[in-house]
Amino acid sequence: MLTDKIAVVTGASRGIGREIAVTLASKGAVVIVNYNGSAARAEEVVKEIEEAGGKAEAVQCNVSEFAKSAELMDYVVKKYGRVDILVNNAGITRDHLLMKMSEEDFDAVIDTNLKGAFNCIKNISRQMLKQKSGRIINISSVSGVMGNAGQVNYSASKAGVIGMTKAVAREMATRGITCNAVAPGFIVTEMTDVLSDTIKENITNQIPMRRFGQTKDVANLVAFLASEEAGYITGQVVGVDGGMAM
């Protein structure tokens, strides 16, 4: 159980982040449902959590902006006194083959997926060190482990998240703070809904289980990594991918 733990989930208005927020709340955590543009959908997540008897609050923040991320963390610490769990889930894609990928496509994906995670970790690290406890879980991707054609920017950002996870884990290991990465394979969300049927079929053929995963598959692992039971696990990259990256 995560009774009364304070959890910040970035990009929790939809998809995997939404499921993580609902799952952590169902285990007793008070969840900060972060979003960037989807205010109404973030409020829906809060409503769903509250109707199930849990506690949550939606807070807008573009995590790619360092100062805004600092404001988010300051707000949470001021209001709730601590942050026990940080899930860096906010992420975007701007897929193109290298020949057609613009500098803007590259920068936007790095800024959100990699720098966004850095910003949030950096801006809560002092508080977690003070607490002498914390769980940081970064959502990477199978694309960061294997590389993926059409995703030079995204693969770089998600591989970067893995390196950052290991470095943070090493720095924080003696301070009661764990830092792990979760590397989902292809999960049914709006991010993968946009893929054409042909691409979906090609991908499915590369998955030993021959199917996409569900958001719950990722959320269950995140909830475990956030728990007391996972206290001796740090610096790991755990796949949730139907066997794709074995």
Residues that bind ligand NAP (CB under 6 A): 10-17, 34-38, 62-64, 89-92, 112, 116, 139, 141, 184, 186-187, 189-192
The continuous run of DSSP H or E covering 159 comes out as helix 152-172
User: At closest approach, how far in Å is the CB of 140 from ligand NAP?
Assistant: 7
Residues 150-184 as b or e (16 or more Cβ within 10 Å = b): bbbbbbbbbbbbbebbbebbeebeeeebbbbbbbb
State phi, psi for 95 to the nearest 5 degrees: -75, 130
Residue-level length of the chain: 246
Q: Return the closest-CA partner of residue 20 out of 48, 39, 62, 40.
A: 48
Annotated catalytic residue 35: no
Distance, CA of 61 to CA of 70 (rounded, Å)? 10
Closest to ligand NAP by CB, 201 or 228: 201
Specify the residue, 94 or 175, whose C-beta has the smaller distance to ligand NAP: 94
Question: Pick from 108, 141, 123, 113: which is nearest to 213 by CA?
Answer: 141
Nearer Cβ to ligand NAP (146/191):
191
Q: ∠ at Cα 191 (185, 195), nearest 5°? A: 85
Nearer to ligand NAP, 197 or 229 (CB): 197
Query: How far apart (Å, rounded) are the C-alpha atoms in residues 117 and 35?
Result: 14
Of the listed 75, 80, 154, 232, which one is catalytic?
154
Minimum Å gap between C-beta 185 and ligand NAP is 6
Minimal distance in Å, beta carbon 189 to ligand NAP?
3
Find the shortest distance in angstroms from Cβ 234 to ligand NAP: 20
Q: Which is nearer to ligand NAP, 37 or 208 (CB)?
A: 37
The residues annotated as belonging to the active site are 154
